[in-house]
Amino acid sequence: MQIALLTLFPEALEPYLRASILGVAQEKGLVRVQTVDFRDFTRDRHRTVDDRPYGGGPGMVLKPEPVFDCVEWLEREHGPYRKILLTPDGERFRQPKAHALAKEERLLFLAGRYEGFDERLRSELAWDEVSLGDFVLSGGELAALCVIEAIARLVPGVLGHHESALRESFEQGSLDHPHYTRPPTWRGRNVPDVLKSGDHAAIERWRANEAHQRTRARRPDLLQEPQTKTA
Ligand code: ADE
């Protein structure tokens, strides 16, 4: 999988991309993340990527030309990308979308700064517009890293055991069950006996029940939604 990440701050994102599961995925040759500074595609002396909004108001708007030229260059070099724009007014990112995107050969992420994107940039290219949630970041960089990480760990071979990804929160339409490791007693708190019993059927029942209780208490909305694996 080839990922292009368009950002004005490649040097801030690269250390994280080299570390973590993304670093491992790249070392294994399963995922390649290329950061591209779209300021390099400006044509004026000041390397301008943003400008004041028509109609007035605060903040700056990302100009269409540098991003557009950057995308065109990447597609000429490598072929078509599925394009994802990080924005608080996008569709809420969820696990089924991560699965859908994990099947793509080439993904392109645009992390903007500023008050917004020129609308023509949005309409001229076919973007999946994605939001991390109902809060505002100062730019799309951290959101892009989150989405890229959620996708990369679903690429076969990236995680040690594929099963671990499929058992986590959201995969079965519920939150995850509690986990314990050694020591068996810590500060007077014990690991539940059933987990030490060796009775795998009983352990599965306990985990399913705990996951259900936790989901009902914290995220009852998940229990009402039809769950799909693709989006
Ligand atoms: N950019 C700014 N805020 C964002 C959010 N909540 N999700 C995705 N991208 C963003």
Sign of CA dihedral 148, 139, 169, 134: negative
Q: What average pLDDT is seen over the chain?
A: 94
Write the residue with the smallest CA distance to atom 4 of ligand 1. 88
Say yes or no: CB of residue 203 within 6 Å of ligand 1.
no
pLDDT score for 25: 95
For residues 106 and 102, what is the distance between their CA atoms, to the nearest angstrom?
10
66: nearest Cα among 81, 47, 87: 47
Question: In angstroms, what is the span from residue 137 Cα to ligand 1's centroid?
Answer: 5
Task: Check: CB of residue 107 under 8 Å from CB of residue 84.
Answer: yes
What per-residue confidence (pLDDT) applies to 20?
87
Q: What count of other Cβ atoms lies within 10 Å of the Cβ of residue 128?
A: 18
Q: Which residues of 86-107 are buried (b: 16+ CB within 10 A; e: fewer)?
A: bbeebeebebebbbbbbeeebb
Which segments in the chain show pLDDT lower than 50?
A: 229-230
Q: What is the domain partition of the chain in residue ranges?
A: 2-152, 167-224
Query: What pLDDT is attached to residue 23?
Result: 95
User: For atom 2 of ligand 1, which residue has the closest CA?
Assistant: 137
Work out which ligand 1 atom sits closest to the CA atom of 112. Answer: 1
* Atom 5, ligand 1: residue with shortest CA distance: 88
- The string of pLDDT tens digits covering residues 10-63 is 999 999 999 989 999 999 999 999 999 999 999 999 999 999 999 999 999 999
Residue 167 is predicted with a pLDDT of 72
- 132 CB near ligand 1 (under 6 Å): yes
Residue 31 token pair: 């995922």
The response to whether residue 87 sits with its C-beta less than 6 Å from ligand 1 reads yes
Alpha helices for 118-219 (secondary structure H): 119-124, 141-152, 162-166, 193-196, 200-218
Q: 27 CA to middle of ligand 1, Å?
A: 29
pLDDT at residue number 228: 54
CATH architecture under which domain 167-224 falls: Orthogonal Bundle (1.10)
Query: CATH fold of 2-152, please?
Result: Alpha/beta knot (3.40.1280)
